[in-house]
């Protein structure tokens, strides 16, 4: 029985084309360019996407909200896919898919002259490749509806937001166990023949997540790596 491949990525929050280019040169399978909590606006996105050109690294952009115009724009600029935060229902998932797909599946506006088609030099055929869509499960409601969200055609993977999910469980004083929630998401994705993913801060956590069934694995972020590196330098210098 064939095994599902593991996609190793990392979070890019600073908005630097240099860091994006370095991540691509290092050989990550994918990077997450963060417009939700990142340090740059969407105006900085095209330069980061250009920096990945020529690499095999796929650019996934996390939009701050499921606005159809923003989803269309980042895909027109050349993102391979999108991640959308706080997807809580099948209806929300369906709206996201429609925003990301051309007719007849969706209602995304079509242009042959956008960057993703080399400004008109390489227009798509009648069936352009579909974008990758990762739906973030970050709330108790999302956990409860994970199976229905995964069942939506066009959703490629459920992606757990660990910080938001942990926060929701805590502030709502839920009896749900965090690890059980992870297993619920993985089972929902598996039942619908979809993948699932998560952000981890330590490489040591990867085996556990792989065992649960996560295959889209993001390891740490550029901001966190710089912060921890600077702190180690200072601690060493002052000791």
**Active-site amino acid positions:** 37
> Cα–Cα distance between 183 and 233 in angstroms, integer?
38
**Cβ neighbours of 214 (radius 10 Å):** 26
Of 235, 118, 100, 106, nearest to 156 by C-alpha is 100
> Cα–Cα distance between 133 and 147 in angstroms, integer?
16
> Cα–Cα distance between 15 and 221 in angstroms, integer?
11
Question: CA 111 → CA 40, 49, 57, 104, distances in Å?
Answer: 26, 19, 24, 15
Q: Enter the tokens of residue 67.
A: 């606005």
> Cα–Cα distance between 143 and 201 in angstroms, integer?
22
**DSSP secondary-structure letter at 41?**
-
Question: CA 61 → CA 45, 65, 142, 149, 167, distances in Å?
Answer: 9, 11, 20, 20, 23
């Amino acid at each position: 029985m064939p095994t599902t491949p593991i996609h190793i990525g990392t979070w890019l929050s600073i908005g630097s084309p240099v860091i994006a280019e370095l991540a691509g040169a290092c050989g990550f399978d994918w990077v997450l360019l963060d417009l939700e909590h990142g340090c740059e606006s969407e105006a900085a996105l095209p330069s980061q996407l250009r920096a990945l050109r020529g690499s095999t690294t796929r650019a996934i952009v996390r939009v701050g909200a499921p606005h159809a115009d923003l989803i269309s724009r980042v895909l027109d600029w050349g993102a391979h896919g999108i991640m959308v935060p706080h997807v809580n229902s099948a209806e929300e998932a369906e709206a996201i898919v429609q925003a990301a797909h051309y007719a007849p599946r969706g209602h995304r506006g079509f242009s042959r002259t956008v960057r993703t088609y080399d400004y008109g030099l390489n227009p798509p055929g009648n069936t352009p490749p579909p974008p990758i869509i990762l739906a973030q499960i970050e709330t108790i409601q999302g956990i409860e509806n994970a199976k229905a969200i995964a069942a939506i055609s066009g959703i490629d993977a459920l992606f757990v937001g660990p910080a938001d999910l942990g926060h929701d469980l805590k502030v709502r004083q839920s009896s749900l166990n965090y690890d059980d929630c992870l297993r619920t998401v993985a089972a929902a994705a598996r039942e619908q023949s979809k993948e699932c993913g998560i952000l981890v801060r330590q490489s040591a956590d990867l085996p556990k997540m792989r065992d649960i069934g996560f295959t889209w694995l993001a390891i740490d972020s550029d901001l966190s790596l710089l912060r921890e590196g600077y702190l180690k330098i200072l601690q060493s210098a002052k000791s």
